Chains A and B, each alone.
Chain A
Amino acid sequence: MRRPNLGRVGVVALRVIRQLKRDRRTIGLIVFAPIVLMILFGYALSGDMSGVALGLVDDGGHAALRAHLVSIKDFDILYLGSESDAEKLISEGKLDGAVLLQPEGVRVLLDASSLQISGTIAAAVQAGMSREGASRAGTEIPIITRYIFGYDLKMMDTVGPAILGLVVFFFTFINAAIAFIRERSQGTLEKFMVSPLSQVEIVSGYVLGFSLFTLLQSATTLVVVTFGFGVPLRGSALTALAVVLLLGAGALVLGSFFSNFARSEFQVVQFIPLIITPQIVLCGIWWPLQSVPEFIRPFSYILPLTYAAHALRAVMLKGAGIGDILYPDLLALGIFFLIFFAAATLMLRREVG
């Protein structure tokens, strides 16, 4: 073997520096991506929550606990008449939990499909009770906790359904962007432009062709998630696949659209921290949306993965049917798809102009 020569190492290093110096996008990515990602992760991991929808049924007593819950500004309190109202609203996903104050004890109803939120509510009730305990020492007041959903859920169970969406979104986005880059670089796209094929037909053809693979991919992931990791599938597998297909179609047109801003496969890879990672952090898969700081939260609500994750959790963990997730989840996914379908189609033409 030849001995390493410092001079040659220097030649290679110099070339790398020269190339990078001209690649402003990569420099931008090296400098700004960590800042953006650290801010996102930092906020999401801070554990602070806001906008937790808590039902309160006040049948008397526990003034200190009640005052404590009301004083927590991260809780949006909704006053309810009965336990059955609370249960209904939780099962519809409109409440994250409820506290029933009764003279003989306290009942806490929780939705464990987000463990962090149910943990936060339980902790707040504990804190309130300990204040109350301080004011009337001696008597033990029972707290009964009841899970409306998922009393037996583990971390994987709540994350699993969303991972199904994430996997499909990630691969479809990357594959579609690369496929369109290739159409451009090998000259086929230009040839399409001079053929009877319209832009709408090109993008539609891609959606149709990719759907087959999306279906295959989501079916395998679903099998692994349910049989391999024991995540419950209480709703219909077909409904889950329908959600994933719609998400995949959105990822495809998004990838097609963003391929216009990349010149090579290398640059497509650079989209991962910019487009995929924020979705992972902000879509409520690992951390509930309530823990996303309020000024970023509107952003969560324009990301398709937010709706797909929500719908998939509803189908798999709560047994929701297609009618239950039509609004807002399927509607939002549909709108996202249509917007980027139009954008991708228009960009194909613009690129030629």
Chain B
Amino acid sequence: MAGDWAISARGVKKSFGRLRVLDNLNVDIPFGVTYCLLGPNGSGKTTFIRAIVRLLHLDGGEMSVLGRPVSEVGEIYSKIGYMTQHKALYPDLTVQENMEFYAGLYGISKQKREERIEELLQMVDLNEHRSRLAGMLSGGMYQRLSLACTLIHEPQLLLLDEPTVGVDPRLRQIFWEYFKRLTGEGKTVLITTHLMDEAEKCQVVGYMRAGRMAAEGSPEEILRLAGLKPRLLLWLAEPERDAALLRGQGYEIKVDGGVVMLSLESHAQIKEILAQVSPLDMRLVEPKLEEAFLRLSEAA
């Protein structure tokens, strides 16, 4: 049912000339989650977001947004916050004036307006720069102001196309905490990013490839789907002998010089292994989403 999802897409198709950008795409995004769209350049992420807000018309398939068919999305624009890759700011207006402009567009009352501007500028750490012209801000500050403007009307659904590009790690952390707070309030955040460590912070990750959803799930599920396991590296005095011992118990093992590498089914196995061998040194290597996507891409 369309009403159960913040965004639901079924068999969505879109071509530009002969180039098929969305190819039978199926996605269901629940309410109240942070959903991360990952994928190489040209995989259709931005096109999908533009289709959600009806900035382009679909060639086929069905889509619903906040329980309404996408053809009626114009009537719920006030519930959507859309941040494009272009920052959509006026460089010759000040930080405050840009915020006021967008607050005015959404008809936010004067009293509420000042409150919201204060809160958001605090969050993006621009309060001291209120009277500066947006055009004089650094790239990262400009990006932050753009995000603040997108949030001004407390949207139910946030569509953020690469919102953290050029933002320093400390502020990125703050952004993600803020997104968490929003989803806690029942709001839905759809985000595209190239940064894997950001994807790991999302509840659901969708990996797009050539206009289709190649893999979807929580970060843990994606890792499992790609067949990636945590690995234990052991530095042993007698690697050949210990390797043979562990192999005999069914462990998947590789030996490289003095280092033995084991793939683990679960972290509990570490204890069992250490009961049998005494390594000089050891290290646990957790699988990375990046690796998972590389592997999924190759498989596709």
Assess whether A186 is in contact with B56, with CB atoms less than 8 Å apart.
no
Q: Least Cβ distance of B91 to chain A in Å?
A: 7
Given A195-B105, A352-B56, A353-B56, are A186 and B77 neighbors across the interface (CB < 8 Å)? no
User: Complex formed: what's the CA distance from A284 to B135 in Å?
Assistant: 44
Can you report 10 residue pairs joining A to B where beta carbons are below 8 Å apart? A185-B86, A186-B91, A187-B86, A187-B87, A191-B82, A194-B53, A195-B78, A196-B106, A352-B56, A353-B56
B88 within 8 A of A: yes
A11 within 8 A of B: no
Contacts A187-B86, A195-B106 known; 8 new A-B pairs at CB < 8 A: A185-B86, A186-B86, A188-B88, A190-B55, A190-B86, A190-B88, A191-B84, A196-B78
A67 within 8 A of B: no
A353 proximity list for chain B (CB < 8 A): 56-57
Assess whether B89 is in contact with A195, with CB atoms less than 8 Å apart.
no
Assess whether B55 is in contact with A193, with CB atoms less than 8 Å apart.
yes
B86 proximity list for chain A (CB < 8 A): 185-187, 190
Residues 59-86 (chain B) with a chain A CB within 8 angstroms: 77-78, 80, 82, 84-86
- A-B pairs with lowest CB-CB distance, top 5: A187-B86, A187-B88, A191-B88, A194-B82, A194-B53
Q: Least Cβ distance of A182 to chain B in Å?
A: 9
Given A352-B55, A353-B57, are A194 and B90 neighbors across the interface (CB < 8 Å)? no
B11 within 8 A of A: no
A197 within 8 A of B: yes
Tally B residues with Cβ within 8 Å of A. 19
Q: Select which of A188, A192, A193, A196 is within 8 A of B89 by beta carbon.
A: A188
A193 proximity list for chain B (CB < 8 A): 53, 55
Residues 78-117 (chain B) with a chain A CB within 8 angstroms: 78, 80, 82, 84-91, 105-107
Assess whether B84 is in contact with A195, with CB atoms less than 8 Å apart.
no
B84 proximity list for chain A (CB < 8 A): 187, 190-191
Residues 192-237 (chain A) with a chain B CB within 8 angstroms: 192-197
A-B pairs under 8 A by CB, number:
44
Q: Select which of B55, B85, B87, B91 is within 8 A of A194 by beta carbon.
A: B55
Residue of A nearest to B91 (CB): A186
Assess whether A196 is in contact with B88, with CB atoms less than 8 Å apart.
no
Assess whether A196 is in contact with B107, with CB atoms less than 8 Å apart.
yes
A185 proximity list for chain B (CB < 8 A): 86
User: Complex formed: what's the CA distance from A191 to B80 in Å?
Assistant: 11
Q: Least Cβ distance of A218 to chain B in Å?
A: 24
User: Complex formed: what's the CA distance from A195 to B89 in Å?
Assistant: 14
Residue of B nearest to A188 (CB): B88
B91 proximity list for chain A (CB < 8 A): 186
**Chain A residues in the interface with B (C-beta under 8 A):** 185-188, 190-197, 352-353
B107 proximity list for chain A (CB < 8 A): 196
B82 proximity list for chain A (CB < 8 A): 191, 194
Given A194-B55, A196-B106, A352-B55, are A186 and B80 neighbors across the interface (CB < 8 Å)? no
A195 proximity list for chain B (CB < 8 A): 77-78, 105-106
Residue of A nearest to B57 (CB): A353
Assess whether A186 is in contact with B89, with CB atoms less than 8 Å apart.
yes
B105 proximity list for chain A (CB < 8 A): 192, 195-197
Assess whether B57 is in contact with A194, with CB atoms less than 8 Å apart.
no
Q: Least Cβ distance of A191 to chain B in Å?
A: 4
B87 proximity list for chain A (CB < 8 A): 186-187
Assess whether B88 is in contact with A186, with CB atoms less than 8 Å apart.
yes
User: Complex formed: what's the CA distance from A185 to B87 in Å?
Assistant: 10
A186 proximity list for chain B (CB < 8 A): 86-91
User: Complex formed: what's the CA distance from A87 to B86 in Å?
Assistant: 64
Assess whether A188 is in contact with B77, with CB atoms less than 8 Å apart.
no
User: Complex formed: what's the CA distance from A196 to B108 in Å?
Assistant: 12
Assess whether B90 is in contact with A196, with CB atoms less than 8 Å apart.
no
User: Complex formed: what's the CA distance from A343 to B87 in Å?
Assistant: 27
User: Complex formed: what's the CA distance from A192 to B90 in Å?
Assistant: 13
Assess whether B56 is in contact with A196, with CB atoms less than 8 Å apart.
no
B88 proximity list for chain A (CB < 8 A): 186-188, 190-191
B55 proximity list for chain A (CB < 8 A): 190, 193-194, 352
B90 proximity list for chain A (CB < 8 A): 186, 188
User: Complex formed: what's the CA distance from A193 to B55 in Å?
Assistant: 7
Of listed B53, B57, B106, residue having the most chain A CB within 10 A: B53
User: Complex formed: what's the CA distance from A328 to B75 in Å?
Assistant: 41
Of listed B86, B89, B107, residue having the most chain A CB within 10 A: B86
Residue of B nearest to A201 (CB): B105
Assess whether B77 is in contact with A194, with CB atoms less than 8 Å apart.
yes
As a 0/1 sequence over residues 36 to 56 of chain B, the CB contacts with chain A under 8 angstroms (1 = contact) are 000000000000000001011
User: Complex formed: what's the CA distance from A72 to B50 in Å?
Assistant: 66
Q: Select which of B53, B57, B77, B85 is within 8 A of A196 by beta carbon.
A: B77
Q: Least Cβ distance of A106 to chain B in Å?
A: 65
User: Complex formed: what's the CA distance from A319 to B106 in Å?
Assistant: 47
User: Complex formed: what's the CA distance from A346 to B246 in Å?
Assistant: 72
Residue of B nearest to A187 (CB): B86
A197 proximity list for chain B (CB < 8 A): 105
A191 proximity list for chain B (CB < 8 A): 82, 84, 88
Q: Least Cβ distance of A197 to chain B in Å?
A: 5
Residue of B nearest to A192 (CB): B105
B80 proximity list for chain A (CB < 8 A): 194
Residue of B nearest to A186 (CB): B86
Residue of B nearest to A191 (CB): B88
Residues 266-283 (chain B) with a chain A CB within 8 angstroms: none
Q: Least Cβ distance of A135 to chain B in Å?
A: 75
User: Complex formed: what's the CA distance from A332 to B77 in Å?
Assistant: 38
B77 proximity list for chain A (CB < 8 A): 194-196
